Chain A
Amino acid sequence: MDFYLGLIQIIGVHTLLGLSAYCVLLTGQVSLAQAGFFAIGAYVAGMLTVLAHWPLIFALMASGVVAGAIACAVGFPALRVKGLMLVVATAAFGEAVRLFFFNFTYQVSRGAIQLGPHGGEGFRQIRYFPENGWSTLDVVLFIWTVVALVMAVLWWMDRSRAGAVLRAVGEDEIAAQSVGINITAVKVSAMTIGGVIAGIGGGIFAHYTTHIEHIQFGIVLATFAIAYPILGGLSNVFGTVLAVIFIQGLLIEGLRFMGDWRNLLFGGLIVLAMNVRPRGLLDAGTLLTLKRLFSRNRERSGA
């Protein structure tokens, strides 16, 4: 049972990571910096609860704010470059963050033990949940409440004019400029929102794993972050959740019995999924079909 609860936690946190990349991807930018923002959120929230004894909620807010501010600052220079160059620039930022935490030591003595980030050995003993008596189920519920909140906000934003503007910039920057959209402001805003979401996700991640270290926030995590919205499709936020469940639940955990063959099959299945559904698992066509099915059923039950 705990295994499944653990899996649901992972899916929840990775959904936040995927949604942060989703925001940025809507404006047509492929960013590999999301793992960096996630790492910043993890360390900030961990240090605030462990060293400063902040309540978790406030620590998460702070991690969102800090990661968002850094995303905003990074966004201005990074978004001047486009396409592959942006991928390289954001990947470099992600690695810089990882190396920063590899070298970052800030320890405080608490009696016999030392607490706080300790360079390459990582940041151990982020024991907010056990110390406050949260059961695994409580943690699961907490994570998914946050996920649901973030999804609700993004869903609503998607349907507002802001969502249409983000997509317009993603589709054609020249046309977007020519109808009066300030594309730099829009892209930096998307990057900032993405940074806030990644920061909150990282903060939660630090607390349920209780031990974070630099290597967890490398290029692999950045690739996962961007893979979720690409695989899930950009029609709405549920595509990303579906992709996280598909990758984390089905491919990574479901194929564990295959041992070393798993990695091979993992890559193959993603390629297959993208070939069968090039516009993402949940594309506009599927949504239309679902909508029709739903309205037909309603008519029938109404009659």
Chain B
Amino acid sequence: MLELQSLTKHFGGVRAVDGVDLSVARGEILGLIGPNGSGKSTIVNLICGLFPLTAGHVLFGGTDISELPPHARVALGVARTFQNIRLFEQLTVWQNLWVAQNSGEQRQQNFLPRWLGGSKGAREKIDRILEFFDLGHKRDELAGNLAFGEQRRLEFARALAAKPALLLLDEPAAGMNAEEIDQLDSRIRKMRQDGVTVILIEHHVELVMSVADRIAVLNFGQKIAEGTPSAVQANTVVREAYLGTAAVA
């Protein structure tokens, strides 16, 4: 479904991402972990096309999307959330999902209905997603007035509104309490059942270990390990990256 081929991004002299090869199969949940500054968010930004690659390729469903602008990638089915929440705060909860209905299928609707209001089906879809994220009662509130946990849920919901085939979650559990993390866990599983492939970037180790099928570990822009959660947990190189050489020895 998604294939990164020697993906590279340099910011001046900083090698944020340095020749990463990674592939994700359809229906899989891939955990992407690594210490701060290891290049996780940069990889997400590169997959979404927020800045140009220094070298390498991004293949999605077999086609090279490395040169496509961000909105065209969304139309193909790549959606994301942000590490630091980026909602449209002056729009209502409902409108946040409304403006996000830009998948290829949704684009094929006639121009006028799409821009004026969307079909009945599109509106019902929004209501269903809001119910799924337990935000139905907040639909007419301004997104900026929501509590922190609700904002995280809304961002997740907004990403789903574009009917993604691949969803990139950039630290969705940051700042959440244990109960909210449990709900997040079950929502990610539910989405996989609905056929969405997920890349999950997360510092919260328990969540990643519980929900991910496979985990890739980054350090200094390079992939240092890849495998099942238990294999990665036992990997010495990974322990060194997180804890330092002395601590492991």
A residues engaging B (CB < 8 A)?
160-162, 164-165, 167-168, 171-172, 174-183, 284
Contact A180 B71 (CB under 8 A): yes
Partner of A171, one of B90, B118, B161: B90
Q: Which of B5-13, B16-24, B93-101 contacts A (4 or more CB under 8 A)?
A: B93-101
CA of A172 to CA of B158 in the docked complex: distance in angstroms? 14
Q: Which residues of A contact B130 (CB under 8 A)?
A: none
Q: Which residues of A contact B86 (CB under 8 A)?
A: 172, 174-175, 178
CA of A231 to CA of B13 in the docked complex: distance in angstroms? 45
CA of A178 to CA of B85 in the docked complex: distance in angstroms? 12
Is B214 an interface position by the 8 A CB rule?
A: no
Which among B70, B82, B98, B114 has the highest number of chain A CB atoms within 10 Å?
B70
With A161-B98, A161-B99, A161-B114 already in contact, the answer to whether A178 and B88 are too (CB < 8 A) is no
Q: Which residues of A contact B159 (CB under 8 A)?
A: 179
CA of A167 to CA of B161 in the docked complex: distance in angstroms? 18
* Binary contact readout B198-236 vs A (1 if CB under 8 angstroms, 0 otherwise): 000000000000000000000000000000000000000
Q: Which of B26-34, B73-81, B180-188, B239-247 contacts A (4 or more CB under 8 A)?
A: B73-81
Closest-CB distance, A31 to chain B (whole angstroms) = 20
Is B62 an interface position by the 8 A CB rule?
A: no
CA of A178 to CA of B88 in the docked complex: distance in angstroms? 12
CA of A167 to CA of B90 in the docked complex: distance in angstroms? 8
Contact B75 A180 (CB under 8 A): yes
CA of A284 to CA of B114 in the docked complex: distance in angstroms? 26
Give 19 A-B pairs besides A165-B115, A168-B95, A171-B91 with Cβ atoms closer than 8 angstroms: A161-B114, A164-B99, A165-B99, A171-B88, A172-B88, A174-B50, A175-B87, A176-B88, A177-B50, A177-B69, A177-B70, A179-B102, A179-B161, A180-B71, A180-B75, A180-B103, A180-B162, A181-B102, A182-B71
CA of A183 to CA of B102 in the docked complex: distance in angstroms? 13
Partner of B115, one of A160, A172, A174, A178: A160
* Binary contact readout B135-155 vs A (1 if CB under 8 angstroms, 0 otherwise): 000000010000000000000
CA of A56 to CA of B223 in the docked complex: distance in angstroms? 69
With A175-B86, A178-B50, A178-B80 already in contact, the answer to whether A183 and B91 are too (CB < 8 A) is no
Q: Which residues of B contact A168 (CB under 8 A)?
A: 88, 91, 95, 99
With A172-B86, A178-B50 already in contact, the answer to whether A164 and B95 are too (CB < 8 A) is yes
With A168-B91, A171-B88, A175-B82 already in contact, the answer to whether A181 and B50 are too (CB < 8 A) is no
Closest partner residue, chain B, to A184 (CB atom): B69
CA of A168 to CA of B144 in the docked complex: distance in angstroms? 13
CA of A194 to CA of B142 in the docked complex: distance in angstroms? 27
With A160-B117, A161-B117, A174-B50 already in contact, the answer to whether A179 and B90 are too (CB < 8 A) is no
With A172-B86, A174-B86 already in contact, the answer to whether A179 and B114 are too (CB < 8 A) is no
Closest-CB distance, B86 to chain A (whole angstroms) = 4
Is B2 an interface position by the 8 A CB rule?
A: no
Of the A-B pairs whose beta carbons lie under 8 Å apart in the complex, a sample of 20, sorted by A's number, is: A160-B116, A164-B98, A165-B115, A167-B88, A168-B88, A171-B89, A171-B90, A172-B86, A172-B88, A175-B86, A175-B87, A175-B88, A176-B88, A177-B69, A177-B71, A178-B74, A179-B99, A179-B158, A180-B75, A180-B100
Is B173 an interface position by the 8 A CB rule?
A: no
CA of A182 to CA of B74 in the docked complex: distance in angstroms? 10
Closest-CB distance, B47 to chain A (whole angstroms) = 11
Q: Which residues of A contact B116 (CB under 8 A)?
A: 160-162
